[in-house]
Amino acid sequence: MHTSALIDIAARHGGVVRRHQLLSAGASKRDIAAALAGDAILRVREGVYALAETNALILDAARHGGEVGCVSALYARGVWVLARPKRLHVWLGGKGRKHAHKLCACVDHHDAGGAAFGIAPVALALVQAAGCCDEELFFAAYESAWNKGMLTRTDREWIRRSVPARTRWLVDLARPDAESGLESLLRLRLVRLGVTLECQVLIIGVGRVDFLAAGRLIIEVDGRENHDGVSMRHKDLVRDAAAAAQGYETLRFDYALVMHEWHTVEKAIVTRLRRLGVPVVGRDVTGVKSD
């Protein structure tokens, strides 16, 4: 078999292929050796080969024995998970076993099913994250995947059935219109305090706002990727002034506040709502400490 044909076989398997798959497709041991010698493929581990251009995460997961899974798979597929995971999560399948490899710090997942190589589907990765990560990460990732069109109705129903019972309320709370993970985190944290929010509300003369509480308090969450420029800041001020002219109050928070100074955000929202006469079922914000 010509090396180009062997490369095509590996490509059809997502860039990582087992020796028996190459042999079954007509390649000989000599063909495999020639492809290795010519650097057309590389040996991932005994009996497993890959194309040199294969994604590094996929290669590391293959060395370990499976697919990129959980939060690592979500990150790789562009789902909002805040930051690149520090450790690689690998789905080994129900009966798969891990393989020792250099600098291994992988997190194993043994969910039922047969793992191959590549990146686990988003729905499966979310179920894995529900059992592996904290509620906030799962919730923000779920809403992000839904907003990006990565989850079908069938996926969402399967996820709800498959996540731990304690997590199902988060699936029921989720919405498809959260445009950033920051919005998801803020809404979840306020729900825990008993604050009811209207989401993505269109106000004539102002535009669409992230949240509206008590019919009067606008809450906006500015992601760092969209609101760094002077021109964007001016537009925000114009919107806030237009809202004030109609009797609305506006609280606006950026990435750093939501992620690193939540106590300040919480205190501002709860205090403002109480001044508007809204009873907030939550802790005494006068003594809230940072996480």
pLDDT value of position 289: 35
Mean pLDDT within 105-118? 87
Mean pLDDT within 168-191? 94
| 7 and 109, same domain (yes or no) | no
What predicted TM-score, i.e. pTM, was given to this entire model?
0.86
- Residue after which a domain boundary falls, among 123, 154, 176: 176
**81, 74 Cβ separation under 8 angstroms:** yes
Q: What is the mean pLDDT of the chain?
A: 89
| 172 and 190, same domain (yes or no) | no
pLDDT value of position 107: 94
| 94 and 8, same domain (yes or no) | no
| 169 and 222, same domain (yes or no) | no
Spacing of C-alpha 280 from chain mean position? 30
Q: How far apart are CA 127 and CA 80, in angstroms?
A: 15
pLDDT value of position 228: 53
Model confidence at 287, pLDDT cuts 50, 70, 90, reads: very low
**130, 163 Cβ separation under 8 angstroms:** yes
| 204 and 151, same domain (yes or no) | no
Domain that holds residue 44: 1-54
| 59 and 140, same domain (yes or no) | yes
Q: Read off the pLDDT of residues 251-267 as tens digits, 9 standing for 90 and up.
A: 999 889 999 999 999 99
* Residue 277 clears pLDDT 50, i.e. is over it: yes
Split into its structural domains, the chain has a count of 3
Nearest to 250 by CA among 289, 287, 207, 284: 207
Q: Read off the pLDDT of residues 25-45 as tens digits, 9 standing for 90 and up.
A: 998 999 999 999 989 899 999
| 170 and 181, same domain (yes or no) | no
- Residue after which a domain boundary falls, among 11, 27, 54: 54
| 34 and 64, same domain (yes or no) | no
Model confidence at 163, pLDDT cuts 50, 70, 90, reads: very high
What is the SS3 assignment for 266? helix
Mean pLDDT within 184-202? 92
| 21 and 81, same domain (yes or no) | no
pLDDT value of position 203: 93
| 151 and 199, same domain (yes or no) | no
pLDDT value of position 273: 92
Q: Read off the pLDDT of residues 50-96 as tens digits, 9 standing for 90 and up.
A: 998 999 999 999 999 999 999 999 999 999 998 889 999 999 988 87
* Residue 229 clears pLDDT 70, i.e. is over it: no
| 156 and 201, same domain (yes or no) | no
In Å, how far are 19, 84, 185, 202 from 58, measured between CA atoms?
Answer: 17, 15, 29, 43
CATH number (domain holding residue 239):
3.40.960.10
- Residue after which a domain boundary falls, among 136, 159, 176: 176
| 132 and 32, same domain (yes or no) | no
